[in-house]
Amino acid sequence: MAIAVMCSGGDCAGMNPGVKKFVDYCFDKGEQPYLIFDGLEGLIDGNIKKATHEDVAGIMHEGGTMIRSSRSKRFYEREFRAKAYENLSALGIDRIVVMGGDGSFRALDRFSKEFDTSFVGIPSTIDNDIFGTEYCLGVDTALNVIRRATDEVRDTSASFKRGCVIETMGRDCGYLALVSAITCGAEVCIIPEAEHDLQTLGERLRHEIKNGRRYVVCIAAEGSKLTPELVEWLEKEVGIETRATILGHIQRGGNPTVFDRLMATEFMTFAVDRLIGEEKTNAVVVYRQSNFAFESIDYITSSKYEIKPQLIAMGQKMFR
């Protein structure tokens, strides 16, 4: 039987290095690799191709995913899952590596329990919000995109004695905003996980501006939904002209960092070895305390990811 790789949900830098390692490593192990294009939708539509080394040559440095991704409402319906299984069976594929988030893992878990298919998930989301793992593929590249943007916005803010509100991705999780704020030396950080006190922050900033501060950097997670309010607060309460910069999907792209390339390689090696070595498996590769391990889907989906208390503690001065 053969083995396939797919991406599902939001894309991130590191997926292409993962795809390349998948193809190269499968050949090294004497397995026939297949590429599933367009995620779950491609699985249903049979958009599956036998892979060659040529398919993945020269993609290590590219962001996004060359096999593309999708979200699929159709996959919730059994008739379409059955169609996906027919497509896999026709090619002799009974094992899948999926790079995605917990929603993708739940979908494949249900699929593998209904049909004779094994899968291993690789946590891949720039939000870094999957329970059970300390690191998700794509996070380091996203943080470096934010770091570059913040440093550059700070330059022009200092030139005009302005404030800047930089909105990062993170609909339900403030990890990107918090780590970026800590490592970029922001004065204010607003995330869903921590209460903030604009009155106290305002008093401190007014004092600092009076004593020579030339700019204010405020980093906010999109999940806070406070970007316009923060601009107004800085202008009216703190007394500094302010501009907002919403980074948006720029955070998903970009040249993968060395760390994300390495993590993609290691995640994928563990995933393929598991699928080759186990007769039947459905698990997720996780990274904790500098080690890789496997967890069940039930465990991964049993709790909500929480930012480490140590990081929250480091940001206290930026919250209040």
pLDDT in tens, 238-269: 999 999 999 999 999 999 999 999 999 999 99
Tell me the pLDDT of the chain averaged across its residues.
97
| Catalytic, out of 11, 94, 102, 127 | 127
Six token digits for residue 230: 């923060």
State residue 119's pLDDT score.
96
What the block records as the tokens of 315 is: 């940001």
Tens of pLDDT, residues 9-23: 999 999 999 999 999
**DSSP tag of 178:** H
> H-helix or E-strand containing 15?
helix 15-28
Q: Is 45 considered catalytic here? A: no
> What structural domains does the chain harbor?
2-138+256-300 (3.40.50.450), 140-252 (3.40.50.460)
Q: Which tokens hold the place of 314?
A: 């480091």
Q: Do residues 169 and 142 make contact, with C-beta atoms less than 8 angstroms apart?
A: yes
Q: What percent of the chain has pLDDT over 70?
A: 100
The predicted pLDDT at position 219 comes to 98
Percent of the chain at pLDDT above 90?
99
pLDDT for res 126: 97
Taking the chain, what is the end-to-end CA distance rounded to the nearest angstrom?
58
| pLDDT of 229 strictly over 80 | yes
pLDDT at position 1: 76
Q: What is the DSSP letter of 237?
A: I
Q: How confident is the model at residue 7 (pLDDT cuts 50, 70, 90)?
A: very high
Report the alpha-carbon distance of residue 235 to residue 232 in Å, rounded.
5
Q: How far is CA 54 from CA 57, 162, 163, 180, 318, in A?
A: 5, 50, 49, 37, 49
pLDDT reported for residue 56 = 98
User: What value does the mean pLDDT take over residues 231-243?
Assistant: 98
- CA distances from residue 200 to 188, 207, 209, 222, 258 in whole angstroms, order as listed: 11, 11, 14, 22, 40
User: How do residues 195-211 score in pLDDT, each as one tens digit?
Assistant: 999 999 999 999 999 99
Report the C-alpha gap between 132 and 144 in whole angstroms: 24
pLDDT of residue 312: 97
Rounded average pLDDT over 88-101: 97
* SS3 annotation, 59-124: CCCCCCCCCCCCCCCHHHCHHHHHHHHHHHHHCCEEEEEEEECHHHHHHHHHHHHHCCCEEEEEEE
For residue range 272-315, what is the model confidence (pLDDT) as tens digits? Answer: 999 999 999 999 999 999 999 999 999 999 999 999 999 999 99
Q: What tokens appear for 126 in the block? A: 């720039």
C-alpha closest to that of 72 among 84, 64, 58 = 84
Tell me the pLDDT tens digit for each residue of 32-56: 999 999 999 999 999 999 999 999 9
Secondary structure element (H or E) that encloses residue 223, with its range: none
